[in-house]
Structure 1
Amino acid sequence: MLKAAIDRNSPIPIYYQIETDLKKRIIRREWDKNQQLPTEIELAKHYNVSRITLRQALAELEKDGVISKQRGKGTFINSDPAPYVNNLSYTLISGDRIKQQPYSIAATVLEQMIVTDIFPDVYEHLELKPDDRIVYIKRLFVLNGKPLAVGRSWISAKIVPDLENTPLINNSLSQTLQRKYRLHANLVEDFMEVVRSTQSECNLLKCAYDTPLILIKGTSFFDDNQPLEYSNTLWAGDSVRFRFTMHDADDGFIIGP
């Protein structure tokens, strides 16, 4: 077995690099469910690190429910490892940014209120004035008990009367906009980038400090190019992977079904 590539000049902690590599190997089924991992001595030798560093990586995997330690026996792959959402289709489907099937991602509303004192870019993207009332919704997305993402949305209160007091249908903003308000987006402009997590995001997503997050932010529009919603969603970079479908167009390849 070849030595694993650990970048010792990277700002990413070595234990986290090992944790990520082990998680990828487990996802690839290098070891079967309930199978015992190599010993700490063997893994430390494989990654060319101390046992202390190796134990940090294993502790994170155990915290995430990927492995479990059995006293006097060793470390084993859990029969139902922590979920890893693979190849989420990034397309506009029924007003949602992410096609969730076949994954059942549940949303929990954390905040739903009228806000006025917010960042200027929110007003700019929604083409509103600083004294306009805006509905703010913050949600936590979870798969099989594991937090995957934190989403924030802003919508002009003028087009969604009393939304701040209206329970979301299935905790879905897009379903609520379509069924209750008859609002549907016909165009979405999104941007994706990788950012560092803050302490509050680590607490919500139950991830290690400095876990990379995939930030998707953008604006949805009506037919007449009027903004409907401005949003940003932070996905745990160690738990999701997106698939982009692109097809040829006159001016190059574009993302789409």
Structure 2
Amino acid sequence: MDDSTELALRLPPLALNRKLPLWYQVAQHLRACILARRQGDPTRLPIEEDLAAHYGISVMTMRQALRELEDDELITRHRRRGTFVNESVSSRPLRLLGSVDAVVSQQASDDVQVLGADPVAPPAEFASYFPDTSDVTRFRRLRRENGEITSYAENFVVNDVASKIDLEDLAHLPMTGVLRDRIGVRIGLVEDTAEAKLPAPDIADLLDIPLGSPVLYCVGIIRDAAGRVIDIASIHYRGDRFKFAVTFETE
């Protein structure tokens, strides 16, 4: 980058992995640099062309990476003025890309107790994902490892898809696998988020933990190839029996 970028936030180099989307890698690298800023560091980013040259990608790919950060409210883009880090920026959810096969394999378990399926109104936190639906089907399951309870899962599935699900399949396959391999749903996107929280009393009772014990709460949103949300998983993991680990390739 030339001298005109000296007043902009300085960015270390990044070795790109061609196995992953370039915009995603660049967006995550910029995210890390922004969150690692110290007080007094510049808030302006280099111009798009200089950023693209820095990362060795096209301007169009660079714009896609910046759009991701803008959607997460990490940056604000002003026409003719440039792109700036938001002063009130805080940590945002980290998105990890992988294959559906990876999701299925990590959710699989040999010891799953299906607690039932029943029609319910979409929970308030998920209602916006089912805008034209008054009710969905809720599937409830307990998962064990070595005889000990590790998680409690609720899946809220649109009724036209839920009607095709065999409960026996859910005792042996994760919901993602049932949707894809048993029903033939073309899965377009899986979005997962995770956070620590305190469970409600009934959840603590199901997990066999003292009230007030923290759990890892994960939400998984599955969209079909047309972009429609067909399933939302709400999963509570026992904090003392679950570990989250991510492996990255560095080259």
Q: CA 1:248/1:158 → structure 2, altered by over 3 Å: closer, same or farther? A: farther
CA distance, structure 2, for counterparts of residue 156 and residue 119 of structure 1:
13
Compare the two structures and name the one with the higher strand fraction. Answer: 1
Which residue of 106, 120, 124 corresponds with 2:124? Answer: 120
Number of residue equivalences: 154
Residues 1:167 and 2:167 aligned together: yes
Aligned equivalent of 1:179: 181
Moved more, 228-237 or 216-225: 216-225
Unaligned runs of 5+ in 2: 1-95
Tell me the TM-score normalized by structure 2.
0.53
Aligned equivalent of 1:53: none
Q: Give the conservation status (yes or no) of the 8 Å contact 1:92–1:99.
A: no
Unaligned runs of 5+ in 1: 1-88, 250-257
Equivalent residue letter for 1:111:
G
Q: Secondary structure at the match of 1:159?
A: helix
Aligned equivalent of 2:193: 191
CA distance, structure 2, for counterparts of residue 202 and residue 241 of structure 1:
18
Alignment of 1:1-257 (within 5 A): 92-94=99-101, 96=103, 99=106, 104-115=109-120, 117-125=121-129, 127-131=130-134, 133-163=135-165, 166-169=166-169, 171=171, 172=173, 173-246=175-248
Shift of 1:207: 1.6
Shift of 1:193: 0.5
Compare the two structures and name the one with the higher helix fraction. Answer: 2
CA distance, structure 2, for counterparts of residue 186 and residue 178 of structure 1:
11
Shift of 1:121: 3.2
Tell me the TM-score normalized by structure 1.
0.52
Q: Give the conservation status (yes or no) of the 8 Å contact 2:197–2:217.
A: yes
Q: Give the conservation status (yes or no) of the 8 Å contact 1:219–1:227.
A: yes
